[in-house]
Structure 1
Amino acid sequence: MMLPWQPAGEALAARLAQHQIVALGEVHWTGQPYDWLCDWLATPGHADLLDTLVVEFGNGRHQAVLDAYLAGEAVSEAALRAVLQDALFGLTWSHPAYLRLLACLRQLNQARPARRRIRVCLAEAPFDWQAPDLAQAWQRALARREDDYYHCVQRQVLAPGRRALLLFGAFHLRRRGETSPQLAQHILDPLGARLARQLGEQIYFIWPHFTADPALNHALTESQAQGQGPRLCHLAGTSLAQQIFGLLHPRLPSDQRLGELTDGYLDLGDLPRRQQLPTDWLADGTWCREIWRRARALPTDAGQALQQQLQRLGIQDN
């Protein structure tokens, strides 16, 4: 498949220089995208292209803790882990790459004056896991999640006129939503579609390569063998843009074209995905007991799914 690839680092820098917001879809349970982003931020001049990251991975209740950490203040490991662990889907953010990214930004900020430090905004609204009506509170928070993400971007980026990189699960960052009734169990009007309607060409969307489609995987693997390294393709006018999204990602069987849902395609090579809890999470008996308490208190379907996940990960119910 012949595509107009560019080196990914240069392409991301160019897009941030041209657009107020770049929306970069992430792939859960793999570290390469975040390690690549850390290298990108450490490249001279790149950190000057943005002032804000808006991220999905964390509970907004802990924004002050994260602010203090990124400013170089002393923050305990347990308090920093809680930023991730207390999210609505805390286990999703268990990969150590998230904390590596935060550590990278903390170090980067130490070399920058206070007014030029990069901010990280937790888009998930504050949530209290000690709420007396926990099951109902969790359902309400889940139902308004996309609204909360959108309002965070409005407050933290658009209203003050900042330049931002958004880091969310890729399915939240589709340029268009869905209207088909058979897709009602999916997010029909995601964050990306809402921002695209408002911002038009001021926002640029990047989709990460992680399809299960064997033909596309084979084509990209063959071309990567030439040693091009991380690369990004602007999709307009390419054959890749014409691919049916639902064939690339059966999880969302949309009949829209890939080029209708995103602007760029990021290929970082093979992204092995494996959910494995860090040893410090597993060693924290207080957290293990608490996550089991949450699993038992959540709505039936969500609670059972979390309990099964905990069992697969070897977290004992004490």
Structure 2
Amino acid sequence: MNQVRVGLCVATSLALGLCADAQPEASGSAIAQIAKEFDKHPLIMIGELHRWEQLHAFMREMIRNPEFVCRTDDIVVEFGNSRLQELADTYAFGGTVTDTQLQSLWRETSVPLTWNSPLYRQFCETVRDINRQHVCAHPIRIVLADPPLDWSKIKTAKDYAPWADRDASYADVVEREVLSKHHRAFLLAGQFHVVKQTPEGDKDGTRAAQLIERKHPGALFSIVAVPSPAVAEAMHMGPPPSFRIVRGSELQNADFAMIATMNPNKKWPPLGDVVDGLLYVGDQTFLYPSPTIYLDPAYHRELRRHASIIKEFSGQDFMPVIDDLVNEARKAEKQKQ
């Protein structure tokens, strides 16, 4: 037993009450097990680490699988501006959309940079493809859940402020576009948006999952991805991809801080109070776009304007990252010459 395994078992033994190599509760594929949760819950939500290649590969496989996707009506995503829902519908249902229009879905959101990873375009392409192939008897809709802000009308932090609560926007969209229509949906958002309880002393507001659960207790089954093989071993996950239900298992009293990618040093409630399931997809590599996209003058100028307003509003400064990306792109262009 290596030192990592020993350390993790010591860390988890008090919470789990064991360190034996227990077998995961698995029958059939991880996708089939997750799909089965639709028997009890109209909403299944996965919390991602943004740009995680292996997780996105699994999710693309999942939404190509009729056993899962045909049980859904909608796929709700964090990475699109809900003001552009009509455009998303046109694209998902096979209509003509220019590349600039498609990019606007994620470039016009309330936060910059993250969604430029090719993974989010690939996700949209996958939904469009399954609709084109008529994988299900009904079309699957991409539902955009970021606040419906119009950047052309936002000039100051005061203009931006009404659109800053991304969790409330996400929950409102789920209520309006899914639950009020008695639909089922697969929900995708960052890890911290899917937690049902937050760490002690958290001042970042109520999360989307909490808002949904508050109004519809039991409607949501939330899943987070295990971030490393070492943690997966401590949690007794099977070979990737593997899935485990937390509540009702020995995992429910484990320390969520082992999995948390945000605020891991804070005091979290037990794992079973925070999420309902764990997903393990193996390695963790991240996919970024070519930095040359930031050399487009119009996009570069607008990106800096967005970043300046966000900094004025919250203090979060994206400018150094933008500067680094532009410098990297210019170096890459020089090397081509």
Instruction: Report how many aligned residue pairs link the two structures.
Output: 306
Change (3 A) 1:272 1:132: closer
Residue 183, structure 1, aligned to residue 183, structure 2: no
Q: Deviations over 1:26-85 (max 9, x none)?
A: 111212222212212222443211010111111112212111111111111111111111
* RMSD over aligned Cα atoms: 2.8
1:55 to 33, 57, 77: 77
Q: Which residue of 2 aligns with 1:203?
A: 220
- The answer as to whether partners of 1:57 and 1:84 remain within 8 angstroms in 2 is yes
Larger radius of gyration: 2
Q: Which residue of 2 aligns with 1:242?
A: 253
Residue 270, structure 1, aligned to residue 287, structure 2: no
Change (3 A) 1:197 1:302: closer
Percentage identity across paired residues of the two chains: 25
- The answer as to whether partners of 1:297 and 1:303 remain within 8 angstroms in 2 is no
Change (3 A) 1:247 1:223: closer
- The answer as to whether partners of 1:277 and 1:313 remain within 8 angstroms in 2 is no
Secondary structure at 2:153 match in 1: coil
Q: Which residue of 2 aligns with 1:103?
A: 125
1:308 to 320, 329, 334: 320
Q: Deviations over 1:83-141 (max 9, x none)?
A: 11111113111211111111111111113399811011111121111225432222331
Q: Which residue of 1 aligns with 2:267?
A: 254
Q: Higher mean Cα deviation, 129-138 or 49-58?
A: 129-138
Secondary structure at 1:299 match in 2: helix
1:172 to 186, 193, 199: 193
- The answer as to whether partners of 2:154 and 2:160 remain within 8 angstroms in 1 is no
Residue 36, structure 1, aligned to residue 58, structure 2: yes
Show the 5 A alignment for 1:1-318: 1-6=21-26, 7-112=29-134, 116-142=138-164, 144-177=165-198, 180=200, 182-184=201-203, 186-187=204-205, 189-210=206-227, 216=231, 219=234, 228-249=239-260, 251-252=262-263, 253-273=266-286, 276-278=288-290, 281-300=293-312, 302=314, 305-314=317-326
Whole-Å separation in 2 of the counterparts to 1:230 and 1:247? 19
Q: Quote how far apart the aligned CAs of 1:307 are.
A: 0.2
Whole-Å separation in 1 of the counterparts to 2:237 and 2:86? 45
- The answer as to whether partners of 2:237 and 2:243 remain within 8 angstroms in 1 is no
Whole-Å separation in 2 of the counterparts to 1:46 and 1:215? 29
- Structure 1 runs, 4 residues or longer, greater than 4 Å off: 301-304, 315-318
Q: TM-score, normalised by structure 1?
A: 0.86
Q: Where in structure 1 are there 5+ consecutive unaligned residues?
A: none
- The answer as to whether partners of 2:91 and 2:97 remain within 8 angstroms in 1 is yes
Change (3 A) 1:153 1:239: same
Q: Where in structure 2 are there 5+ consecutive unaligned residues?
A: 1-20, 331-337
Whole-Å separation in 2 of the counterparts to 1:40 and 1:230? 11
- The answer as to whether partners of 2:74 and 2:141 remain within 8 angstroms in 1 is yes
